[in-house]
Amino acid sequence: MHKIEKLNRELLEKLTETNRALDRIAALLVSSQLLQECVSPEGTARSASECAGIITDSYCAGLCLAEELSSHNRDFNYQKSEFFLDSDEDESTEQDQNEDDDDDEDTDSRPFQMSF
């Protein structure tokens, strides 16, 4: 048990380090977008609330696009499985197993979400 606990601690440390790096990347991306949105295309300065609204809208649009892409991928996998329905039994069994794995990944993995 001691070896498993050690491996679990190492894994937890690596995940914590990765999460810190992802937090920094997200902060840099938001900061970059804020800097870009501070000035309108006409050259006038925007207020903080206007910038926040633009960034919130773009974030929500990104989430919508990610969900739409996920939906299209699920539809494509379904259509692909229907198209190859008459194939050899071995291939269809293997394909069904792969689709089950893909479906599990689609439902379990969500695009990362930042909280503001």
Hey, where are the domains in the chain? Answer: 1-37, 47-116
- Tens of pLDDT, residues 26-85: 889 888 888 888 888 888 888 889 888 888 898 899 899 999 999 999 999 888 888 776
The length of the chain in residues reads 116
| pLDDT mean over 15-19 | 95
- Tens of pLDDT, residues 79-102: 888 877 655 544 555 555 555 555
